[in-house]
Amino acid sequence: MLARSASVLEKCAELHVSCRTYAAAAAAACLRTAETEEQSQLSAAHERRLQEMYRATGEAQPMMQQASERKTYLPSAAEVADRLSSSKGASCSSANSTTDNNTGIDWREAVAVLQAQDRQRLQQNMLTDTFRRQHTYLRISLTEKCNLRCMYCMPEEGTDLTPKDDLLTTAEILRLSRLFVEGGVNKIRLTGGEPTLRRDIVDLTGQLNALPGLQAIGITTNGIALKRKLSDLQAQGLSLLNLSLDTLQPDRFEQMTRRRGHERVLETLDLALSLGLDPVKVNVVVMRGINDDEMGDFVELTRHKAINVRFIEYMPFDGNVWAEPKMVTYRQMLDAVQQRFPNGLQRMQDPRHEVAKNFHIPGFKGSVSFITSMTQAFCGDCNRLRLMADGNLKVCLFGANEVSLRDAMRQGASDDDLRVIISAAVDRKKAAHAGMFEIAKNKNRAMVHIGG
């Protein structure tokens, strides 16, 4: 498949001028929206399943996006040729996607193919995909290790971790971060595993903060080991904090994480507020029959604390035993909160690239949000890329396709080579993921490997 794609790209490079005219005609005739025929079929199947689910639960079905509202675009000649030669790969997590993490782009082949094209143009637009989405947000996983064993993140029996020598070094992280920032990234979030377990995280944060053009550095953490490092991290440039906390009950915390430490997380939350970090977000993965009865209590936290509580739909990853009945949908979560606060929840204006639907209650210091990755995806405005601890670049959370930037660096790739590889990977990002029922069937890495 890779050889065939390379051949198609090479031919398009040779016929670039004529293909550009052909691309416009093909786009006008066949590609009116960002969906291919396969994506339309997957979306229809996804919609049918959602309708069945809504009928079964008796909840109101959300309005689906009208075709006239979808963003139109003019694809490149290479994209038109690729789509005409194969209808596969309509979505990041389609059944046709590879599930083998080692079968992604080989960097030498990618560079060889793309050298025939306008290399300067590719480098200048390396973070803009074929759907005109500009990627300005990079999530970097610093480690696969974690001091908790959350049921939705890590299999109960544990998981094999990448050997230390195969993880990115600090110098490699900084090199790649520089290239991404030069390419347009203005926000970096440090994730894991548990990022605070990386010994040099404070120094690394300071070196990232020195990159010209970087506007914000955040961290997503369970908070267990953060308290003693938080002041130093803030001094080095950390400005955004997401705390993962799925219950306000200490005994339930031990059941869900298989570890102790609930009190330390709450102490870290209070310290963050006292230090003036803004925003401070609390991520709550809601699971039916496990913690969905605490949603009102989490909202109550926002009465006196200037925090943003974010309720997240339960998502399937390798080893977390996802099942549809365990998932509480956005509409169900919203109804539960409205029942507890019947006269208060008001919709807020969402900023561009926002993944959450934001609300607030008048008189409360904080806010409440819902992340609806499963029932109402936000792929059309996605600006995120993920650099995993092993050096693989993942352009979609739910997609199996990855490319190793670590291997390329260690085998002598120049900065220009890396820019071309990154550009090629971004160009492979699809219009949307395939919908929650397709995602659940496909193999993906455990969340501890991907990075939260």
pLDDT at position 51? 54
| Stronger pLDDT, 268 or 35, i.e. the higher one | 268
> Which tokens belong to 5?
């794609």
25-45: average pLDDT: 40
CA-wise closest residue to 366 among 386, 383, 341, 333: 341
176-186: average pLDDT: 97
Q: For residues 315 and 396, what is the distance between their CA atoms, to the nearest angstrom?
A: 14
Look at residue 452 and tell me whether its pLDDT is greater than 50.
yes
Look at residue 339 and tell me whether its pLDDT is greater than 90.
yes
Q: For residues 430 and 410, what is the distance between their CA atoms, to the nearest angstrom?
A: 28
Tell me what percent of the residues of the chain surpass a pLDDT of 90: 49
| Stronger pLDDT, 252 or 19, i.e. the higher one | 252
pLDDT at position 110? 66
**Residue 373's pLDDT band (cuts 50, 70, 90):** confident
User: CB neighbours (10 Å) of residue 409?
Assistant: 22
Structure letter (DSSP) for residue 276: T
Strand, helix or coil for residue 191? strand
pLDDT at position 149? 77
Q: What is the pLDDT of residues 87-99, one digit of tens each?
A: 333 445 444 444 4
Tell me what percent of the residues of the chain surpass a pLDDT of 70: 64
| Stronger pLDDT, 123 or 404, i.e. the higher one | 404
**Residue 40's pLDDT band (cuts 50, 70, 90):** very low
187-208: average pLDDT: 96
CA atoms 333, 336, 341, 346: torsion sign: positive
Question: If 0-12 CB within 10 Å is exposed, 13-18 middle and 19+ buried, where does residue 354 land?
Answer: middle
> Which tokens belong to 365?
């210091």
Contact by Cβ (8 Å): 365, 273: no
Q: What is the pLDDT of residues 272-305, one digit of tens each?
A: 999 999 889 999 999 999 999 999 999 999 999 9
**Residue 64's pLDDT band (cuts 50, 70, 90):** very low
| Residue whose pair of structure tokens reads 């029942």 in the numeric block | 339
Strand, helix or coil for residue 246? coil
> Which tokens belong to 275?
């230090």
Q: What is the pLDDT of residues 116-166, one digit of tens each?
A: 666 666 656 899 998 999 999 999 999 998 888 777 766 666 677 899 999
Contact by Cβ (8 Å): 438, 99: no
